[in-house]
Structure 1
Amino acid sequence: MKSLNIPKGVRRVLFKTLNTDRQLMHKTQFHSDFTAFMEDGAKWLVENTNIKLVGLDYLSVAAYVDAAPVHYAFLRNREIIPLEGLNLDDIQPGRYSLHCLPLKMVGADACPTRCILI
């Protein structure tokens, strides 16, 4: 994570990983070997950045084998919002303005969101 050199002041980061290259978001079968955060990577972001939102290009920001600890690391101390299931096919690395439009769902702890990059 350190080698990514995330600039100071960045609050939202979307990670385009091998999941996009493998086109996992376009497949109907679930793949448990997707690229995602392990607990140590999540903790590093919490401890070394001011990020408030982390997005990833598959169904979870957390690796299949480390799901609960990753979510706890993001949500426990800083409440970093996980943004999951992103289609980043045609998105090039760079700075964007991110707008997330969640559906209003009463009593839910998560909901579908339409995300727009400008």
Structure 2
Amino acid sequence: MSEVMKSLNIPKGVRRVLFRTLNTDRRLMWEKRFDTSYVGFTKDGAQWLKDNTDIKLVGTDYLSVAAYDHLVSAHRVFLKNREIILVEGLKLKDVEAGIYDVHCLPLRLYGAEGCPIRCVLIK
């Protein structure tokens, strides 16, 4: 996974990235059953992204940023010291690759470790 992250050539200074993966092409967010074969981060991919970019927000197009077999290890990398915000469950079907302004509007839930948000992309 670290090779995949390296091949993306994410420029320094980019602080937010949304990943539209095969999860969207397979329409996994529209399925009623949870699919453990979804695309997600492994520990080494998450570590490479954290160590080699300025990313502070990672968004993905399924219910977890971490691959099913790496749930704990990849989440630990991202959430250590609360340096990176995770946005999961994005519907990116009609979003083309490109540069956008992204604004995430969370519900304010006191005492919660996560909450629903609405993300707005502006081209």
Q: TM-score, normalised to structure 2's length?
A: 0.93
| SS of residue in 1 equivalent to 2:103 | strand
Distance of 2:108 and 2:81 partners within structure 1: 25
- Runs of 4 or more, structure 1, over 3 Å off, are none
1:39 aligns with 2:43: yes
Gaps of 5+ in 1: none
Partner of 1:85: 89
Percent identity (aligned): 62
Residues 52 and 78, structure 1, Cα contact 8 Å, conserved in 2: no
Partner of 2:31: 27
The alpha-carbon distance between structure 1 residues 46 and 78, as it changes in their structure 2 partners (threshold 3 A), is: farther
1:59 aligns with 2:63: yes
| SS of residue in 2 equivalent to 1:7 | coil
Distance of 1:78 and 1:10 partners within structure 2: 18
Shift of 1:78: 5.8
Q: TM-score, normalised to structure 1's length?
A: 0.97
Q: What do residues 41-71 of structure 1 show as CA deviations (whole Å, max 9, x unaligned)?
A: 0000011011000000000000111111111
| SS of residue in 2 equivalent to 1:82 | strand
1:18 aligns with 2:22: yes
Gaps of 5+ in 2: none
| TM-align CA RMSD | 0.8
User: How many residue pairs align between the two structures?
Assistant: 118
